[in-house]
Structure 1
Amino acid sequence: MCMGTCEGEIETFRRLITRLYPAGIVSIVSDTWDFWQVNNGFAAELKPEILAREGKLVFRPDSGDPVRIICGDPDAPADSPAFKGAVECLWGIFGGTTTEKGFRVLDGHVGLIYGDSITLARAEAILAGLEAKGIASNNVVFGVGSYTYQYATRDTFGFAVKSTYGEINGGGREIYKDPKTDDGVKKSARGLLKVMNVDGVYCLADRQELIDADDCSMQKVFCDGKLLIDDSIAAVRARLTNKAA
Structure 2
Amino acid sequence: MREERAKPATNWREEVEERLLKKPKKRYASWTEELNLDNLAQLGPQWWVVRVSRLRGQETAERIARSMARTFPDIEFKVYAPAVQVKRKLKNGSYSIKPKPLFPGCIFLRCVMNKELHDFIREYDGVGGFIGSKVGNTKRQINKPRPVSVDDMKAIFRQAKEEQEKTDQAFEEEEKKGILNSGILKTDITIDSNESSTVRVLSGTFAEFVGSLKKLNRKTKKATVGFTLFGKESLVDIDVSEIAPHTS
TM-score, with structure 1 as normaliser? 0.21
> Of the two structures, which has the highest relative contact order with CA contacts closer than 8 Å and spacing of 6 or more?
2
Pair member with larger Rg: 2
Q: Which has the higher strand share?
A: 2
